[in-house]
């Protein structure tokens, strides 16, 4: 297909005569349009639609710039330079490509907005510098060198970014996209350098035009190629480094272009540097805040029992150790309640685990509602067992709260196959008046012994054991 397209282009150039320029412009509009159509097709059928759509937009922008040249030749009959609109479209061609290369997947919209602003700023600086130098035909030798340098920088960044993303992609769809983009970007880099450095003084309608369309035709073929393929092993560290460092691509490109502009347009260079620093700073702040929020959520999940909403065993263990040390420093007493749902295995076997889970949740809420002091901790200890830590509590207060909890659960009258016909709890109370140098295990052992006694005495009651430490 590419060879046929090039052959037809070349044949029409030969017979085109003085209209050969028109033939070339039509073919150079068709080539990126074909590539764009192939990218859209791949987006709908091949995965990683975001990347292929961005590439299709780039193709449309490039075709638009070439269409501007065609309009200039047909209507204005002027080859003195490229119009502002065409120049802008050629420059903006790289913006969606750089954006999809620099922005990681699944970023929130504020971060994407910042990255889009940086990409547009990069395109604007390219445009300002290029348009200020005018066309290659009218530019001085020094301006021609600067103009070529600017195009080389943009094309080189796109190729380098694409290759890095390809090497870091393990997902087959993404790897296929970045691999295809790397091949296209390499061909486009070489083609643009060939035209700009060796044939910049040759107008459309000559044989070098056959080379210009090749990268687009190759891209169309790659987009329509087999979409299969397995994932490739990629170093986890390298993949993470690229993902974390990817957002640096846009600011780095912006700073590079700004450095090139320092001599010719210092104000634009300063504005570009400021945009790069501020944009990346804002992005970093947003990402860090989001990361801290995610850390807090994970920390919360790590300490909360998902079924009951109470603290989990980890939270209980940490709280008990902390309160034991505090009681040791202050000389205050400490109480521990061990709470067990009576006949819970029978309930699960008779009514099923979903009902058992609901009973656990309902009992947990009743127990938590009784612990009104802010210093008290109610947690799920494990299975059908709960625990409550009561800092500074006297034996009388601990017994009163235990009875309040037991009665609160009984008042719910939750259906159960137990002898009473509803759910009840047994509570063991461990209490220590003054913590010395002992281990917190002595308090837990006292509460366990009291719970065992409560169960042996008929359940649906509370018992107290004193601990020494």
Model pLDDT, residue 379:
95
And the tokens for 385? Answer: 């067992």
d(CA 99, CA 121) in angstroms, rounded, equals 12
Which residue in 384, 385, 413, 453 is the catalytic one?
384
What integer is the mean pLDDT of 167-180?
89
For residue 60, give the nearest of 97, 13, 24 by alpha carbon: 97
Strands 425-432 and 462-466, bridge-based pairing: parallel
Between residues 76 and 273, the one the model is more confident about: 273
Let me know if 384 is a catalytic residue.
Answer: yes
99-107 — which CB contacts under 8 Å span 24+ positions?
99/54, 99/250, 100/50, 100/51, 100/54, 100/55, 101/158, 101/161, 101/162, 101/165, 101/181, 101/246, 101/249, 102/161, 102/246, 102/247, 102/249, 102/250, 103/246, 103/247, 104/243, 104/246, 104/247, 105/50
132-141, 182-191, 323-332: segment of lowest average pLDDT: 132-141
Model pLDDT, residue 143:
63
Mean pLDDT of the chain: 85
- pLDDT tens digit sequence for 414-444: 999 999 999 999 999 999 988 877 788 999 9
pTM above 0.85, yes or no: no
d(CA 303, CA 326) in angstroms, rounded, equals 21
- pLDDT tens digit sequence for 291-347: 888 888 888 778 899 899 999 999 999 999 999 999 988 888 899 999 999 999 999
């Amino acid at each position: 297909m590419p060879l046929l397209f090039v052959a037809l282009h070349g044949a029409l150039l030969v017979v085109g005569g003085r209209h050969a320029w028109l033939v070339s412009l039509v073919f150079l509009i068709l080539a990126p349009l074909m590539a764009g159509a192939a990218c859209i097709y791949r987006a709908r059928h091949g995965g990683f639609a975001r990347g292929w759509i961005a590439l299709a937009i780039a193709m449309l922008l490039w075709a638009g710039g070439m269409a501007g040249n065609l309009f200039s030749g047909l209507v204005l009959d002027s080859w003195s330079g490229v119009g502002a609109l065409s120049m802008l479209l050629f420059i903006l061609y790289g913006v969606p490509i750089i954006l999809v290369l620099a922005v990681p997947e699944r970023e929130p919209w504020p971060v994407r907005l910042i990255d889009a602003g940086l990409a547009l700023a990069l395109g604007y600086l390219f445009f300002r510098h290029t348009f200020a130098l005018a066309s290659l035909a009218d530019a001085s030798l020094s301006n021609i060198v600067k103009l070529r340098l600017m195009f080389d920088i943009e094309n080189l960044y796109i190729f380098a970014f694409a290759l890095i993303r390809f090497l870091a992609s393990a997902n087959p769809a993404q790897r296929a996209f970045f691999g295809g983009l790397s091949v296209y970007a390499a061909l486009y880099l070489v083609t643009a350098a060939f035209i700009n450095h060796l044939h910049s003084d040759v107008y459309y309608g000559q044989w070098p035009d056959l080379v210009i369309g090749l990268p687009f035709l190759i891209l169309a073929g790659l987009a329509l190629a087999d979409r299969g393929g397995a994932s490739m092993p990629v170093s986890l560290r390298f993949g993470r480094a690229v993902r974390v460092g990817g957002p640096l691509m846009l600011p780095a490109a912006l700073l590079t272009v700004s450095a090139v502009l320092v001599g010719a347009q210092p104000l634009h260079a300063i504005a570009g540097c400021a945009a790069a620093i501020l944009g990346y700073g804002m992005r970093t702040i947003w990402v860090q805040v989001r990361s801290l929020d995610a850390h807090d959520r994970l920390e919360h999940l790590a300490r909360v029992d998902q079924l009951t909403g109470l603290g989990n065993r980890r939270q209980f263990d940490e709280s008990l150790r902390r309160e034991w040390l505090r009681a040791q420093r202050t000389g205050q007493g400490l109480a521990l309640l061990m709470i067990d749902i009576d006949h819970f295995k029978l309930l699960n076997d008779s009514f099923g685990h979903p009902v058992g889970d609901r009973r656990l949740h309902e009992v947990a809420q009743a127990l938590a509602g009784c612990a009104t002091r802010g210093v008290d901790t109610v947690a799920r200890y494990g299975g059908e067992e709960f625990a409550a830590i009561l800092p500074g509590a006297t034996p009388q207060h601990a017994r009163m709260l235990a009875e309040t909890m037991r009665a609160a659960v009984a008042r719910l009258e939750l259906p159960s196959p137990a002898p009473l016909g509803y759910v009840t709890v047994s509570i063991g109370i461990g209490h220590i008046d003054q913590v010395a140098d002992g281990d917190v295990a002595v308090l837990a052992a006292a509460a366990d012994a009291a719970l065992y006694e409560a169960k042996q005495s008929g359940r649906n009651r509370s018992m107290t054991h004193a601990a020494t430490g």
